[in-house]
A and B are shown apart, each in its own frame.
Chain A
Amino acid sequence: MVIADYLPLLVLTAMALGVVTVIICLAQFFGPKNPTPEKMMPYESGSDPIGEPQATRFSVKFYMVAISFILFDLETIFVIPWAMSWQDSAALGHGLYSFAVMAIFLSILTVGLVYEWSQGGLEWD
């Protein structure tokens, strides 16, 4: 492994920084500006960022969001490596098998989503 192998990483970092800078600058120069007190607050997922910790309680609704997040986050963790290695799998002639296994996994997760939906987990109110 030589240092040149890390060049793509450097390029990625540079591009990420560049894109962020460009977006912020564009918003700064061209965006409409009519500030209200709410808009000026730091963003804290809807709860009041300044004040006594005991006085402001989290809404229990966030917990449903967190659970759904974990569900789909785990799904991603399993699906991405599968997608990366599917070509190798297909090259060995097991493409259909590999696809069937992932289809079973996804269908079980989908049943979970259907359940969550029916229990009202996807509605905010």
Chain B
Amino acid sequence: MQLLSTLTTLGLLTPPEGAELVALVPGAIVTLVAVVFILLDVFHNKGTSREYQAYFAAIGLVLTAASCWYLWDMGLERPVFFGMLYLDRYSLFFSGLACASAALMILASPAFLRSHQMDRGEYYLLILISVAGMIFMVQAADLLTMFIAFEVMSIPLYVLASFLRKDSRSAEAGMKYFILGAFSAALMLYGIALIYGATGTTNLEYIRENLFFLSAAGASHGAFGMVMIGVLLILSGLAFKVAAFPFHIWAPDVYTGSPTPSVGFMATAVKVVGFATMIRVFSVAFPLEVLRGGFFGWGWIDVAFVFAIGSMLLGNLVAVTQDNVKRMLAYYGIAHAGYLSIGFVAANSHPSFFLHNDAILYSLTAYTVALVGAFGVLSYFGRRGEAVETYADLGQLGIKYPKMGMIMTICVLSLAGVPPTGGFLAKFYIFRTGVDVGVQTGEMAFIYMVIVGVIGSVIGAYYYLKVIVYMYMKPALREVRPLATKGKLWALGACAAATLYLGVFPAKPIDVCRSAIMSMSGVPAEVQATIDRGQMELDRRLQVDED
């Protein structure tokens, strides 16, 4: 014991190698921007506009995304800092996506905040800190790193939800999000403790090895009960964040009450990071057959199956009855968690389907740009501190503000899954994954899941087209003013352009998604074999193209 603790102390006192520090670069840039931002806010000239702060934060986030791009080919084989953080294309992809979502929503914020008399620098600061948490969460190679990053991401979001503190709905949103979020985080931590109790480690790869060792040593099915409970608690904590079916209750109230631009950030970046972590944690740490289950052996695949079916049915059906657009988008977010769960269930049901995870990455990208655009357009309108929220408020806005109408139409069509937008291809890839795996395994449950998904998309078309109908064909009920800034116009234009780009020229983005999923470090040997096979096939195809 004495020796071990001496060795640990020695290890802790030794600085990491220079090469390891590279893994910190994206997170460090955001943190540095946040710290400088505090000073910027301290020396702000009171009473003047804070629009420049939004630009500063957005530029910082763009720099971070650029650093992810720069590091794309510099991934590291092993996790750094004694098995704490990965640096691979997978984490860089999601870091970049989270930064993009945050930067676009920050650019859409200043005029909205000013009209609600809450033009405070803290708003941008909270988003920056949350992004720092997100970046470390997708890099996490250890359950504890993941949990700390999870909290760094979540706590600023609770504050953001209640940012319009004079508005009672916003205060309610913050309170609900905080209490439920704290509960889910506590459950997740308890799950981590159970896993630690069974395996004696929190490192994802060591957990996998120890679990294999336990099962090889003849631990009975029942002995895995504690591990299984731990796995389910971790899954439920992540499902809460992505608002999947039994853990979705908070989403509609929180989305309705929170300031509109920050909802765009919460609904996209958090979902992106939640799914990224889910794929990483479950495919790296718990690939054991007993835990994985698969159609009612009641492992985590079965639980995700329930999430998928439940979220799609509930999300789509309840979204139809909403008259508040923000609430409708919240229910759509629940439904979308269901669509993504189809991909998650299908691609992770067996190691040989691992590469199908690229559908989730593509779908998250398309969903992010379209939803950010939709929330951005909603926050573009307002009057005397009142936000435009209901369908009726949208009357005639598409005709009065043709640019906004255009952007909203593109984004909404993408969310509904109409070609030629990114959302169409995203749904297509997700459903194709389900059908493909279903056909290859002969398991009908995959096909049923896709059928529910397709029916859900048809229902979705109804409530999305309703937005367009109101924007162009219904009379205006009350006067609204545009809350325009130059940055906002650019950001919203970029969302619409990206949505179209993803739909019309999908080849390049899909390549990026595939190379992200193929570079995931720490995966078990069977998955690595699948990846290597995929890589060989890809090389062969490139060879053929060149000839």
Show the binding face of A for B, using Cβ within 8 Å: 85, 88-89, 92, 94, 97-98, 108, 111-112, 114-115, 118
Residues on A with beta carbons closer than 8 Å to the beta carbon of B12:
85
Residues on B with beta carbons closer than 8 Å to the beta carbon of A85:
9, 12-13
9 A–B contacts, CB within 8 A, in A order: A85-B13, A92-B10, A92-B13, A97-B15, A111-B35, A111-B38, A111-B39, A114-B42, A115-B38
Residues on A with beta carbons closer than 8 Å to the beta carbon of B10:
92
Residues on B with beta carbons closer than 8 Å to the beta carbon of A114:
38-39, 42
Report the minimal beta-carbon distance from B35 to chain A, rounded to whole angstroms: 5
Report the minimal beta-carbon distance from A80 to chain B, rounded to whole angstroms: 15
The listed residue (B13, B15, B42) touching A115 by CB distance below 8 A is B42
Q: Taking A85-B9, A88-B9 as contacts, is the C-beta distance between A94 and B15 under 8 angstroms?
A: yes
A118–B41 Cα distance when bound, in Å, is 9
Residues on A with beta carbons closer than 8 Å to the beta carbon of B38:
111-112, 114-115
Give the residue name and chain of the A residue nearest to B125 (CB). A115
Give the residue name and chain of the B residue nearest to A88 (CB). B13
A118–B14 Cα distance when bound, in Å, is 38
The listed residue (B9, B15, B35, B42) touching A118 by CB distance below 8 A is B42
Report how many A-B pairs have Cβ atoms within 8 Å: 27
A115 touching B41, Cβ below 8 Å = yes
Q: Is the interface of B mostly helix, strand, loop or mixed?
A: helix
Count residues of chain B with CB under 8 A from any CB of chain A: 11
Report the minimal beta-carbon distance from B151 to chain A, rounded to whole angstroms: 14
A94 touching B9, Cβ below 8 Å = no
A24–B38 Cα distance when bound, in Å, is 47
Report the minimal beta-carbon distance from B129 to chain A, rounded to whole angstroms: 12
Contacting residues of chain B (29-69) with chain A, CB-CB under 8 angstroms: 35, 38-39, 41-42
Report the minimal beta-carbon distance from B486 to chain A, rounded to whole angstroms: 29
A94 touching B39, Cβ below 8 Å = no
The 8 closest A-B pairs by CB, nearest first: A118-B42, A97-B15, A89-B13, A115-B38, A111-B38, A111-B35, A94-B15, A92-B13
Q: Taking A108-B35, A111-B35 as contacts, is the C-beta distance between A94 and B13 under 8 angstroms?
A: yes
Residues on A with beta carbons closer than 8 Å to the beta carbon of B14:
92, 94
Contact with A along B1-30 (1 / 0, CB 8 A): 000000001101111000000000000000
A97–B16 Cα distance when bound, in Å, is 10
Report the minimal beta-carbon distance from B34 to chain A, rounded to whole angstroms: 9
Give the residue name and chain of the B residue nearest to A112 (CB). B38
Residues on B with beta carbons closer than 8 Å to the beta carbon of A115:
38, 41-42
Residues on A with beta carbons closer than 8 Å to the beta carbon of B13:
85, 88-89, 92, 94, 98
Residues on A with beta carbons closer than 8 Å to the beta carbon of B39:
111, 114
Report the minimal beta-carbon distance from B277 to chain A, rounded to whole angstroms: 25
A34–B41 Cα distance when bound, in Å, is 50
Residues on B with beta carbons closer than 8 Å to the beta carbon of A118:
42
Residues on B with beta carbons closer than 8 Å to the beta carbon of A88:
9, 13
Candidate in B10, B12, B38 with the most chain A CB atoms within 10 angstroms: B38
Report the minimal beta-carbon distance from A70 to chain B, rounded to whole angstroms: 14
Report the minimal beta-carbon distance from B11 to chain A, rounded to whole angstroms: 11
Give the residue name and chain of the A residue nearest to B15 (CB). A97
Report the minimal beta-carbon distance from A123 to chain B, rounded to whole angstroms: 15
Give the residue name and chain of the B residue nearest to A94 (CB). B15
A112–B41 Cα distance when bound, in Å, is 12
A92–B15 Cα distance when bound, in Å, is 10
A108–B132 Cα distance when bound, in Å, is 15
Report the minimal beta-carbon distance from A121 to chain B, rounded to whole angstroms: 12
Residues on B with beta carbons closer than 8 Å to the beta carbon of A97:
15
Give the residue name and chain of the B residue nearest to A89 (CB). B13
Report the minimal beta-carbon distance from A92 to chain B, rounded to whole angstroms: 6
A79–B253 Cα distance when bound, in Å, is 42
A111-B35, A111-B38 given; name 16 further pairs at CB < 8 Å.
A85-B12, A89-B13, A92-B13, A92-B14, A94-B13, A94-B15, A97-B15, A98-B13, A98-B15, A111-B39, A112-B38, A114-B38, A114-B39, A114-B42, A115-B41, A118-B42
Report the minimal beta-carbon distance from A83 to chain B, rounded to whole angstroms: 13
Contact with A along B221-239 (1 / 0, CB 8 A): 0000000000000000000
A13–B7 Cα distance when bound, in Å, is 33
Residues on B with beta carbons closer than 8 Å to the beta carbon of A94:
13-15
A114–B44 Cα distance when bound, in Å, is 13
Report the minimal beta-carbon distance from B33 to chain A, rounded to whole angstroms: 12
A91–B297 Cα distance when bound, in Å, is 56
Report the minimal beta-carbon distance from B122 to chain A, rounded to whole angstroms: 9
Report the minimal beta-carbon distance from B208 to chain A, rounded to whole angstroms: 31
Residues on B with beta carbons closer than 8 Å to the beta carbon of A92:
10, 13-14
Give the residue name and chain of the B residue nearest to A101 (CB). B15
Residues on A with beta carbons closer than 8 Å to the beta carbon of B42:
114-115, 118
Give the residue name and chain of the A residue nearest to B41 (CB). A115
A108–B42 Cα distance when bound, in Å, is 14
A88–B12 Cα distance when bound, in Å, is 11
A85–B41 Cα distance when bound, in Å, is 36
A98–B13 Cα distance when bound, in Å, is 8
A48–B336 Cα distance when bound, in Å, is 55
A63–B155 Cα distance when bound, in Å, is 18
Give the residue name and chain of the B residue nearest to A98 (CB). B13
Residues on B with beta carbons closer than 8 Å to the beta carbon of A98:
13, 15
Report the minimal beta-carbon distance from A34 to chain B, rounded to whole angstroms: 46
Residues on A with beta carbons closer than 8 Å to the beta carbon of B35:
108, 111
Give the residue name and chain of the A residue nearest to B16 (CB). A97
Report the minimal beta-carbon distance from A84 to chain B, rounded to whole angstroms: 11
Give the residue name and chain of the B residue nearest to A96 (CB). B15
Report the minimal beta-carbon distance from B288 to chain A, rounded to whole angstroms: 37
A11–B492 Cα distance when bound, in Å, is 71
Residues on A with beta carbons closer than 8 Å to the beta carbon of B15:
94, 97-98
A61–B66 Cα distance when bound, in Å, is 43
Report the minimal beta-carbon distance from B317 to chain A, rounded to whole angstroms: 44
Residues on A with beta carbons closer than 8 Å to the beta carbon of B41:
115
A85–B6 Cα distance when bound, in Å, is 12
A118–B42 Cα distance when bound, in Å, is 6
Report the minimal beta-carbon distance from B133 to chain A, rounded to whole angstroms: 15
Report the minimal beta-carbon distance from B17 to chain A, rounded to whole angstroms: 12
Residues on B with beta carbons closer than 8 Å to the beta carbon of A89:
13
